[in-house]
Amino acid sequence: MAQFPVWTKIVDNFATLSAVATKTFVVPAGKRWLVFGGRAERDVGTTLDIEFYNSDDELIFAFAQITSGATTISWGVVYTATTHKLSEAVPLDASDYVKYTWGQAQGTPEVTCLVTESPIL
């Protein structure tokens, strides 16, 4: 009989960053994530890339580059070209990661990456 993951924890991964151009959210060892969305503040007007990588650093999914601006980007479970949202949750295994890359360093942006977390059975 197949075992199904038990999504036991909701994690928002909230952080207030300092002078950065990238932020990476890594799935912890022994865990799986379903990624539902997130938020990335741009306090310096620039582009933003949101990309998903496997543990071998191979790109598995990426949004089209989000155009320059000093705005907050929210993305989540329904994709449209104007709101930059996904149609489904994205499953990630241990050591896979989500990476935000701004076109230039930000001041003190706030970011989130909302996931449910499960132990690997």
Fold of 9-119: Jelly Rolls (2.60.120)
Quick one: pLDDT at residue 40?
Answer: 93
Quick one: pLDDT at residue 1?
Answer: 45
Round the average pLDDT of the chain to a whole number and report it.
87
Quick one: pLDDT at residue 27?
Answer: 97
Quick one: pLDDT at residue 96?
Answer: 98
Cα 17 from Cα 111, distance rounded (Å): 8
Instruction: Identify whether the C-beta of residue 9 lies closer than 8 Å to the C-beta of residue 103.
Output: no
% pLDDT > 90, the chain = 58
Cα 32 from Cα 6, distance rounded (Å): 10
Kindly report, residue by residue over 19-78, the tens digit of the pLDDT.
Answer: 899 999 999 999 999 998 999 999 888 999 999 999 999 999 898 788 888 888 888 765
Q: Where are the domains of the chain?
A: 9-119
Instruction: Read off the pTM.
Output: 0.84
